[in-house]
Structure 1
Amino acid sequence: MVAGLAIEAVVGWPEAVDKRIGHPIRWFGWLVERTERLGNRQSWSRSARIATGGFVALFVVALAGWIGLGIQLFLPAGWLGLALMALIASSLIAARSLHDHVADVSEAFDAAGIATARYSLSRIVGRATVDLDEPAIARAAIESLAENTSDGVTAPLFWGALFGLPGLFAYKAINTLDSMIGHRSARYEAFGKVAARLDDLANLIPARLTGILFALCAGSGRAIQVMFRDAGRHRSPNAGWPESAMAGALGIRLSGPRTYGETTSNEPWLNSGARDPSGADIRHALELYRRVVIAIAFILALLGWADLT
């Protein structure tokens, strides 16, 4: 997992490879889309759609885990097998891609102005961005960075370190299911219920570890205080931990009301009473994020060394 993280951080997912074979996440997405079309019948009862969605979710996760296991068993022993496993693992870790997408928003403020910042933000969040001012753009970018540090970095490495490629593949299948069908909309509320609960369960430990790492890497007792006080206020049982820790570490407020399409969600503030963030705070959040990724790599390397000895 350390080698996979290093490869992704340095190289990312090469564009030439993406054009030739696509990306594993899109493969999962294709499978979820096809099974959802077949199984999510609006004419069925709510309980039938929950059961069918649960079967689809478990099938996709089990299939992903078995594929990961098959690949792992097929790999040769020794350094070649390790290198190939690291290369495969790197495709399911998002340390560099997350950093670069959020950095695009930060750089847009400096180089091109708020309109370009809104556009860059629209590529990484689901909320409406067309009317957002600078504090709202900065808030959304920092929230996305904090939450996805858990979903895209800590959690894949956590499950990969525990169970190898089967754990990594299964987790990314769960995460993809949640992002595609785990919504509280009329279409997905029933069908995606099991997928959403699986995602909550899979991220339970990684989200809290991420929050703790944000606080420790910031050297901020305030971040610890805000995290334990405000994490439970978030609508997600997990996202509130890294987001509230980030808010406390930077001395800003996050969350609050936001708009998704035509729907306004009146979320409570995290670190209420603190100032609104600015474009400069995105850079500070990215600096903290880089320290956290390095800390994760160090911890995994230390655990691996302890296991070898």
Structure 2
Amino acid sequence: MTAWIMLAGLAVEALLGWPDALDRRMGHPVCWFGWLVERAEHLGNREKWSKPARGAMGGLLTLFLLALAGLIGLAMQLVLPNDWVGFVLMALLASSLIAARSLHDHVADVSSAFEGAGIDAARCTLSRIVGRETAKLDEAAIARAAIESLAENTSDGVTAPLFWGALLGLPGLFAYKAINTLDSMIGHRNSRYEAFGKIAARLDDLANLIPARLTGTLFTLCAGSGRAMKVMFRDARKHRSPNAGWPESAMAGALAIRLSGPRAYGTETSEEPWLNAEAGDPDAADIRRALALYQRVVVAAALLLAALGWAHLP
């Protein structure tokens, strides 16, 4: 049943996304949870406290918010009727926590900016979806950043929510999105968050362990490229993230381009290793190629959910 719910949620989100009218009136569920994280961080992450104290408080608050999200999902799953009305409502709830369409649209906007207003517009559009400095990026660096964001977030925004939702229902889906949001907000390696967000970051690594590798495998299979598989297994572990390297290196091998490499965050430069280093740099056209591959991966994920659903029919 949970696989069918997630498949229906994926279909709703892919077709409709999160409607602007709803966003204007009530915001987005992830933003609601983000507000809770902000309040918790404000109360529990005091600069005057020692690192062990901040780490302990961050861990406690992370586990509390994770449990809260999971219990809300469980309550909704138990309260909703076990009929087609409940199925539709659960699918709508699930759709709000999947990002298949929104991810595609955000990356496609970068490509459209290139094709329309040019490189300055592409830099500005890219700045909305990545944390690195974009003001001085050339075409190749913009394309790399957009494609890397697409590859990594295919796991975080699509495959992982579907995986945990299909495995554990709404409690699993809600808990995963809580972990992912916590990591994106407090799981940073800097003086403010390194201690406070350490548990959140480690939980996010654990929650994405299987989905990231599944995503990378889907990229290679949908590309029909043995070379992509080879690059993924060779280069994935070079990435500083234990998970992001799998979909990113698979994408690099599938498109025969190099990804990652040095990048600037504010005034600091991060010396990241290249993925598929022997290949050339991507250009604006490669963003469209990456999006086409991404679309095939989403369809493949839908087919896997359907197969799982059929396998569990009485």
The percentage of counterpart residues that share the same residue type is: 76
Equivalence for 2:246: 241
1:112 aligned onto 2:121: no
Question: Per-residue displacement from partner, 1:53-102 (whole Å, max 9, x unpaired)?
Answer: 00011011000000001111111121111000000000000000000000
Distance 1:22 1:66 in 2: 21
Pairing of 1:15-54 with structure 2 (within 5 A): 15-54=20-59
1:281 aligned onto 2:286: yes
Pairing of 1:77-96 with structure 2 (within 5 A): 77-96=82-101
Distance 2:175 2:183 in 1: 12
- TM-score for the superposition, normalised by structure 2: 0.98
The alignment partner of 2:312 has SS state of: helix
Alignment equivalent of 1:103, drawn from 108, 133, 158: 108
User: How far apart are 1:22 and its partner, in Å?
Assistant: 1.1
1:271 aligned onto 2:276: yes
**Structure 2, unaligned runs of 5 or more:** 1-5
The letter for the 2-side match of 1:307 is H
- TM-score for the superposition, normalised by structure 1: 0.99
Alignment equivalent of 2:192, drawn from 171, 187, 192: 187
The letter for the 2-side match of 1:17 is L
- Alignment size in residue pairs: 309
Question: Per-residue displacement from partner, 1:221-248 (whole Å, max 9, x unpaired)?
Answer: 0010000000000000000000000000
Alignment equivalent of 1:214, drawn from 213, 219, 226: 219
Distance 2:211 2:65 in 1: 22
CA RMSD of the aligned region, Å?
0.5
Distance 2:267 2:175 in 1: 34
- Runs of 4+ residues over 6 Å off in structure 1: none
User: How far apart are 1:19 and its partner, in Å?
Assistant: 1.4
1:292 aligned onto 2:297: yes
Distance 2:76 2:23 in 1: 20
The letter for the 1-side match of 2:65 is V
The letter for the 2-side match of 1:205 is I
Equivalence for 1:3: 8
Distance 1:71 1:17 in 2: 20
Equivalence for 1:136: 141
